[in-house]
Chain A
């Protein structure tokens, strides 16, 4: 009994050792010199391998940056100082980074917004859309079946089970924009990472109609536009649009909003 255990261990270990030695020798013999810069650039990249830059992962992007094929700024998850370091490494100006984050622009979750019917199907927004364009009366509303949650490569999106609100964890979001493409209702948007105030509604219905189907919807009253001292809010199609360049995140608009559709993140 003990013999067979010993023999097994010895032979398998021995085989492993022999192959290891052969491989080690081959690795030396067939060594391909790799530009050490590629490794250095790779270490500076986020390493999430999200693919948002259009290359097959961070390794491939590091190679492309090194060969001058791509600028480091194509990576949307890069911070400014890392970009500067890469610029130093390659000697090429990598361009300016503007870190972004995703926001889900709907507050009408759970019981706040009316549903056309009860959906008993695959838990996926794209599947739910096939049935009468989704179960929400509001065609701009988040259905909450979590397609974006599954799409997110960095696990930054969570659905709050109590309220049904889809939340993006800012500390984890890299701003790659994969969720933006995954959402069939197109209510996820990338905004500058330092932006605090945001309109959490996409409904372009008129106020009365909106109010009937969703108690959290923007009613297009325009109070926020009047509150803003910096002229950063414009009403377009019954919805306030924030000019991120002018917005100072003071929050004056959020205080008077009757439905709290515009608020701080």
Chain B
């Protein structure tokens, strides 16, 4: 039951992008096409789930045990950076077209605050290992959901009569704001 609550909370109520405003950069950057949004989402799900697991181990097996918790930020960033590099290598080999489409946003997952955010929130919420991994995956799923929804909207906007002054990013930012307001409607769910 607790796990289910974590999932619902991470995907909808505390959606990383639309409610907590983490990971805005790829949210605007790779949502021009649904295809790239899905690819980015998949990469983030992979990175965030693994990062949650590894940072959990790093936190409790190393940092707490040896009384060096002040190294949390740098150690976590090290883990995330290595993971992203790994994902990049794998993607380059297995799916060059996706690698091309994601472009600079893939290495940028390294500095994506959503990934570091999920790692630190896991520790702050005192989750155990299973909960951390579930929270990481769910948060990434929420991120992906937001990305895909937004990409769908932007693809439609592309073919809609938009006032000249609002074309491109302005209308994208306005629709992002409206989506954010819509997601706030979930806040009473739990």
Chain A residues close to B by CB (< 8 Å): 4, 7-8, 11-12, 15-16, 19-20, 22-23, 26-27, 30-32, 56
Contact = CB atoms under 8 A, between A and B. Distances in A.
A7 to B, nearest CB: 5
A25 B170 CA distance: 45
Interface residues of B, number: 20
Contact of A23 (B71, B85, B103): B85
Contacts of B78: 12, 15-16, 19
A98 to B, nearest CB: 32
Contact of B71 (A12, A26, A30): A12
Contacts of B68: 4, 7-8, 11
Contact of A15 (B75, B89, B96, B103): B75
Contacts of A32: 92-93, 96
In terms of DSSP, what is the predominant structure of the interface of chain B?
helix
Contacts of B153: none
In terms of DSSP, what is the predominant structure of the interface of chain A?
helix
Interface in B42-82: 58, 62, 66-68, 71, 74-75, 78-79, 82
A11 B90 contact: no
10 contacts: A8-B71, A11-B71, A15-B79, A16-B78, A19-B79, A19-B82, A20-B82, A23-B85, A23-B89, A30-B94
Nearest to B68: A8
B58 A15 contact: yes
A23 B87 CA distance: 10
B21 interface: no
A31 B90 CA distance: 9
B127 interface: no
Contacts of B75: 11-12, 15
A57 to B, nearest CB: 10
Which 4 residue pairs of A and B lie closest in terms of their CB atoms, listed nearest first? Answer: A19-B82, A30-B93, A30-B89, A26-B89
A20 B93 CA distance: 19
Contacts of A27: 89
Contacts of B94: 30
A7 B96 contact: no
B109 to A, nearest CB: 15
B93 A4 contact: no
Interface string B83-106: 001100110111010000001000
Nearest to B93: A30
B68 to A, nearest CB: 5
B67 to A, nearest CB: 7
A11 B66 contact: yes
A31 B93 CA distance: 7
B92 A30 contact: yes
Nearest to B91: A30
B133 to A, nearest CB: 19
